Amino acid sequence: MTHRRKLIAGNWKMNKTAADGAALVTELVGTIGKITDVDVVVCPPFTALESVARAIDGSTVKLGAQNLHPESSGAFTGEISAPMLRALFATHVIVGHSERRSLFAETDAFINLKVLAALKNQLRPILCVVESLAEREAGATLKVVQTQLEAGLQGVSKEQMANLVIAYEPVWAIGTGKVATTDQAQEVHAFIRGLLTKLFTEPVAQRVRILYGGSMKPANAPELLAQKDIDGGLIGGASLEARSFVELVNAASAAK
């Protein structure tokens, strides 16, 4: 079986000033800044990217953005492009987060353009596929995930898949304290890997990391991370405080 190194990514959302972000990562770097058996990514708001980049310089912690615009430059007031993120030393970017889909009306087609723009600019997209409570209760989970994944990955090559990460996020578990059961999460992760086999190849599917996102905390992480197809976490609330984030990274290290 292919060994996939676990990945823990912190999505700070609209939290932390440049100074607060630098202080948080300075604490992280002090404890997990040399870790090599887990990939650690922090995704501050745009305004803190530069200060955080400086604070993680020389450590193994990597920098991600929370969004990007598909175009490289132009008349897109308020937007940030992939080359701008690269210039700040970002290596990852979250694409299609549920909050972007629901609050900012991002469609699968637009999300696909962002995925392609990220890859073209050597940024690794963390493509979120999300499911609402109504969809789960209607038994539509797998269909919804399939539709988002097929649309989001249009035009992505087998080779590019090596640089892409997928995050499965049940919206009803995001910031709510409700967590999907390990069986519920593993079922969807295994389904996603099966779909990647069909869309690409078995070796490609075995290499792609699939993260779980939705109230992952130090208390529930070990069980989730022990699942065969759960390769890490996209962490919201618990990434805003050094202690809980470090515990999650340590849980990923122990689960490898």
Binding site for ligand PEP (CB under 6 A): 11, 169, 174-175, 213-216, 234-238
Closest distance of CB 128 from ligand PEP, Å: 7
Closest distance of CB 114 from ligand PEP, Å: 16
Half-sphere exposure for 28 (CA within 13 Å, toward CB): 35
Of 38 and 204, which has the nearer Cβ to ligand PEP?
38
Closest distance of CB 158 from ligand PEP, Å: 27
Of 44 and 236, which has the nearer Cβ to ligand PEP?
236
Q: Which two tokens stand for residue 203?
A: 């070796």
Question: What's the alpha-carbon Rg for the chain, to the nearest Å?
Answer: 17
Of 30 and 175, which has the nearer Cβ to ligand PEP?
175
Total residues belonging to the chain: 256
Residue 189 appears among annotated catalytic residues: no
**How many other CB atoms sit within 10 Å of the CB of residue 44?**
30
Helix (H, G, I), strand (E, B) or coil at 243: helix
Phi/psi for 55 (5° steps) reads -70, -25
Residue 27 appears among annotated catalytic residues: no
Closest distance of CB 184 from ligand PEP, Å: 15
Contact 173, 214 (CB under 8 A): yes
**15 to each of 11, 43, 83, 191, how far by Cα in Å?**
9, 10, 24, 33
**How many other CB atoms sit within 10 Å of the CB of residue 194?**
14
Of 33 and 218, which has the nearer Cβ to ligand PEP?
218
Question: Of 97, 99, 135, 189, which is the active-site residue?
Answer: 97
Closest distance of CB 10 from ligand PEP, Å: 9
Closest residue to ligand PEP: CB criterion: 236
Choose among 46, 58, 120, 119: nearest CA to 85.
46
Question: Of 99, 131, 135, 169, which is the active-site residue?
Answer: 169
Give the residue numbers annotated as catalytic, written as ranges: 97, 169
